[in-house]
Amino acid sequence: MRRTRLAAALTAVVSVCGLLTGCGSPDDGRDTVTMWTYPIITDPTADREFWTRTVAGFRERHPEIRVEVVSQPWSNRDATLTTALLAGKGPDVGYLIPDQVGRYHAQDVLAPIEDFLPEETMADYRDNALAALSIDEIPYVAPILMSALVGSCDQRVLDATGVEPPSTWAELLEIAPVLREQGYYATHYQGDLQAALNMNFYQYLWQAGGTVFTDDGDRLAVDGPEGVAALEFLTTLVDEEYVDRSALTQAYQPDQSPMARGRVACVYNMGPTEAAAAMGGSEHLRITPPLTGAVQTAYGTVGGYAVFHEARDPDAVRAWMAYLTSTEVMSDYNRAAGYFSPRESVTDLYPDDPVLAEAEQYLELTTPGEPHSRYREVLQIVAPLVQSALLGEQSPQDALTEAARVAEPLLAS
């Protein structure tokens, strides 16, 4: 059954596993763990050094187990992984994010992660990190990193206009006219079709208390009152020129954005490091809590490592996963990658960086997404309709009603 489901996912995928380094082990795989990862640590040298010392540290404790860490490119990662799993040459362990969990769970290739981690590790995870990587309340991925898109405000703009950072939607609307009159935008909304909905519309949907999918996952919930309230709020920002309207269709890079030009008070769609770089230095950056609509939340990614059903040596994988998710390794990993830890006991990773130290305090308030097998396809439906409402081409209610209607046959399939 598992192989049948996986084969069904391979429509229009060309088999390329034979071209992949580390696609499989020449022996029967006993006492061997093969793991696929990606350039999460963006500096290639730092990435190699991290995995070299991590595998070496593990081998000191388990000299009988061989670990092969294969760094794969981001491009075509799902096609490559699915092809390799179907061919029986996939990894034992692989890096996944929330919008992949539903897809691979539907293919029946994921093992419940609690079967491979110590009880104390499972108990130490933040609830929102585990929830983002779970299906029907069963976690299938061991979280390894988190981020938080909290408020990033330009202190120079705040000082020039005499406003305080908002903490709610209402406060944002209150200070926005003051900022506009002095030539500034209240915030930045990147609404082009290349922008991730997690970092724009969905974030406000979650703040309104809504969800992308209904509880059973059978239809979209964006057309409910929460989704309409979120899109009406964003429409007000656009119509009143509280945000740069050109960003609805133009894909600004952070260093070219209105924030980089010193024209925006606060942004909620960038990580603090990215925002600081856009502003020309962290000395100008003031971190603030996530906004509150009906709910106080912000988008924050979660990533982790899943174990596939056909892992060749479950005991070896269990030992590796326990080490990989240990407090020692998790601290080292996140410092090297510039992320935060999903374990509650692993904190204060950046004592010498006040920006990251402040952002770390809001991890519990993040919403990392909603795992669903059709998450990515739904993005392609919702994004242009949200954009059309913001451009004034249709009402928020009509746009979201159409999104739910168009997605209905997809979710029913």
Give residue-wise pLDDT tens across range 185-234. Answer: 999 999 999 999 999 999 999 999 999 999 999 999 999 999 999 999 99
Number of domains in the chain: 2
Whose structure tokens read 């993040």?
A: 366
User: 356 lies in a domain?
Assistant: no
Note the pTM of the prediction, 2 decimals: 0.88
Q: Are both 178 and 217 inside the same structural domain?
A: yes
User: 65 lies in a domain?
Assistant: yes
Beta partners for residue 150, in sequence order: none
Per-residue pLDDT of 21-72, as tens digits, reads: 333 344 555 699 999 999 999 999 999 999 999 999 999 999 999 999 999 9
Q: Are both 137 and 192 inside the same structural domain?
A: no
Q: What are the start-end ranges of the E strands in 72-132?
A: 93-96
User: 85 lies in a domain?
Assistant: yes
pLDDT at 411 over 60: yes
State the pLDDT confidence band at 256, using cuts at 50, 70 and 90: confident
Q: Are both 225 and 260 inside the same structural domain?
A: yes
Which pLDDT score, from 0 to 100, does residue 204 have?
A: 98
Residue numbers of the domain that contains 95: 32-145+301-351
Question: Parallel, antiparallel, or unpaired: how do β-strands 266-267 and 141-146 relate?
Answer: unpaired
pLDDT at 387 over 50: yes
Q: Are both 225 and 328 inside the same structural domain?
A: no
How far is the C-alpha of 34 from the C-alpha of 53, rounded, in Å? 16
Q: Are both 214 and 331 inside the same structural domain?
A: no
Question: Parallel, antiparallel, or unpaired: how do β-strands 93-96 and 32-37 relate?
Answer: parallel
Count H helices and E strands in the chain, helices first: 16, 12
Which pLDDT score, from 0 to 100, does residue 280 have?
A: 86
Per-residue pLDDT of 267-297, as tens digits, reads: 999 899 889 988 888 899 999 999 999 999 9
Q: Are both 125 and 265 inside the same structural domain?
A: no
Of residues 110, 399, 351, 83, the one with CA closest to residue 231: 399
Q: Are both 101 and 116 inside the same structural domain?
A: yes
How far is the C-alpha of 179 from the C-alpha of 242, rounded, in Å? 8
> Both tokens of residue 257?
């954005």
User: 15 lies in a domain?
Assistant: no
Question: Parallel, antiparallel, or unpaired: how do β-strands 138-139 and 134-135 relate?
Answer: antiparallel
Of residues 57, 93, 69, the one with CA closest to residue 318: 93
User: 182 lies in a domain?
Assistant: yes
The number of residues in the chain equals 413
Q: Are both 247 and 387 inside the same structural domain?
A: yes
How far is the C-alpha of 190 from the C-alpha of 200, rounded, in Å? 7
How far is the C-alpha of 358 from the C-alpha of 69, rounded, in Å? 33
Residue type present at position 310:
E
pLDDT at 141 over 50: yes
Name the phi and psi angles at 293, rounded to 5: -100, -95
* Sheet of strand 285-288, all strands in order from the earlier edge strand to the far edge: 266-267, 151-154, 285-288
User: 362 lies in a domain?
Assistant: no
Which pLDDT score, from 0 to 100, does residue 259 have?
A: 86
User: Within 10 Å of residue 92's Cβ, how many Cβ atoms?
Assistant: 27
Q: Are both 312 and 385 inside the same structural domain?
A: no
- CATH number of the domain at 226, please: 3.40.190.10
Which pLDDT score, from 0 to 100, does residue 29 have?
A: 53
3-state secondary structure of 271: coil
Q: Are both 260 and 385 inside the same structural domain?
A: yes
pLDDT at 92 over 60: yes
3-state secondary structure of 287: strand
State the pLDDT confidence band at 18, using cuts at 50, 70 and 90: very low
Q: Are both 164 and 225 inside the same structural domain?
A: yes
Give residue 14's Cα distance to chain centre. 28
Q: Are both 67 and 100 inside the same structural domain?
A: yes
User: 359 lies in a domain?
Assistant: no
User: 368 lies in a domain?
Assistant: no
pLDDT at 15 over 70: no
Mean pLDDT, all residues of the chain: 91
